[in-house]
Chains A and B, each alone.
Chain A
Amino acid sequence: NAGVTQTPKFQVLKTGQSMTLQCAQDMNHEYMSWYRQDPGMGLRLIHYSVGAGITDQGEVPNGYNVSRSTTEDFPLRLLSAAPSQTSVYFCASSSGVRHEQYFGPGTRLTVT
């Protein structure tokens, strides 16, 4: 199993550009989530999904959209990037053991 995979690993955007961060898991997990990690701020939940077709907002959802059309994939979209979205983004998935989330390797995004 590859676990949780994320692409790209690094990305530089200009203010106002859009992009999609990809996340996929091959563990047949129902729950998937997106976090952002900023220095001194820990991990903050952006959006999450408890299954295909179901998504909900986390702590910091503004500026981000998600959809979940399949169990495996959970992409995160930035419609109009802002410098405040410069961060490291982690995707995670979980089975029924709710605390045990498996994290991907992260995407480092810089918005100039």
Chain B
Amino acid sequence: QQQVKQSPQSLIVQKGGISIINCAYENTAFDYFPWYQQFPGKGPALLIAIRPDVSEKKEGRFTISFNKSAKQFSLHIMDSQPGDSATYFCAASSGAGSYQLTFGKGTKLSVIP
């Protein structure tokens, strides 16, 4: 059973456009939602994260929007740049002291000039 569903699988955006990646979760015990960015040949790296007590978090060109009632969250990349081309993973964790992350299947973003 896949607990975090991510879409789309791949995304092509023009430079300067907005990239949007969506995730939905089933487990209501999840209480932390990070996004990881992975460049080819590298390990994933934490990009931005949100708790369900806020509806939006912004860091530079990256914004997470969170809808608790719909059990959905999304990553928006404003003014997308070719350097943003990477694979993005949403994830979720639950429970006090829990270190386990459940990842979505990933979205390969290509930003074309």
Contacts and interface: CB of A to CB of B under 8 A. Distances in A.
A2 to B, nearest CB: 13
B46 to A, nearest CB: 5
Interface in B87-101: 89, 91, 93, 97-101
Nearest to B32: A99
Interface string A46-69: 001010000000100000000000
A11 B46 CA distance: 27
A99 B104 contact: no
B-side interface mostly = loop
Contacts of B32: 98-99
Contacts of A45: 100-102
Given A42-B89, A42-B106, A43-B89, A99 B45 contact: no
A48 to B, nearest CB: 7
A103 B76 CA distance: 23
A22 interface: no
B9 to A, nearest CB: 7
Interface residues of A, number: 24
Given A42-B104, A99-B93, A103-B45, 16 more contacts: A33-B99, A40-B105, A41-B105, A43-B101, A43-B103, A45-B100, A50-B99, A90-B44, A94-B99, A99-B91, A99-B101, A100-B34, A100-B46, A102-B46, A105-B42, A106-B41
Interface of B: 6, 9, 32, 34, 41-46, 49, 89, 91, 93, 97-106
17 contacts: A33-B99, A42-B89, A42-B104, A42-B105, A43-B103, A45-B101, A45-B102, A50-B99, A90-B43, A94-B99, A98-B32, A98-B93, A99-B91, A100-B49, A103-B44, A105-B42, A106-B43
